Amino acid sequence: MKRLLSLLFLSVYALAAYAAAGGEYVFNRIDAQTNLSHSAVLSIYQDRQGLMWFGTYDGLNCYDGKNMSVFRSDSPASTGLTNNVIMTVCQADDNCIWCATDYTLNKFSQETFTTETYDLGGEYTVHSNSNGDTFLIRRDSLYYYNKASKEFLPVDPDLS
């Protein structure tokens, strides 16, 4: 807790020093008035194009700096999202976003607004690196997303 408070204080101090030296920051408030689908934001991600993605209790939100687009599982033009509770958002390959819900992982295409769904069951964490390599982490196992076969394959811990 002390470490977190120290980091917060240091960040605020650095911002104040930068602003005093003539730097500028632009902050926009994003809330229900800017069409954010829910006030409870579970994850935030900025993609390679600079778009801000928000996983909320009521859908996936994309903010381009001016407009908010909301994608839900139950919208009239269904995107294929399996659930409106978006726990995690991160970059996938080829202009896609990984959207993790309770028990499924959705690979959401930013171009076609369609989804590939992976029914994973249980608790997991998803992580992608800057090369678009995606890993799924469970309590006692690690999986790698194979782009060619479009499936998660277990990583053998005995390989070195």
**Using an 8 Å Cβ cutoff, are 88 and 99 in contact?**
yes
Instruction: Write the DSSP assignment of 136-156 as a string of letters.
Output: EEETTEEEEEETTTTEEEEPP
Torsion of CA 79, 84, 86, 92, to 10 degrees: -10
pTM: 0.74
pLDDT tens across 103-138, in order? Answer: 789 999 888 888 889 988 788 888 888 777 899 998
Instruction: Write the DSSP assignment of 30-94 as a string of letters.
Output: -SGGGT-S-S-EEEEEE-TTS-EEEEETTEEEEE-SS-EEEE-TTSSS----S-S---EEEE-ST
pLDDT at 24: 63
pLDDT at 32: 67
The C-alpha atoms of residue 121 and residue 105 are separated, in whole angstroms, by: 9
Both tokens assigned to 30 = 């994003």
Both tokens assigned to 45 = 């991600």
pLDDT at 94: 75
pLDDT at 145: 92
- Long-range contacts formed by 14-18: CB under 8 A, 24+ apart: none
pLDDT at 112: 87
Mean pLDDT by 10 residues, the chain (160 residues): 61 63 64 78 90 92 89 74 91 87 87 87 84 87 91 79
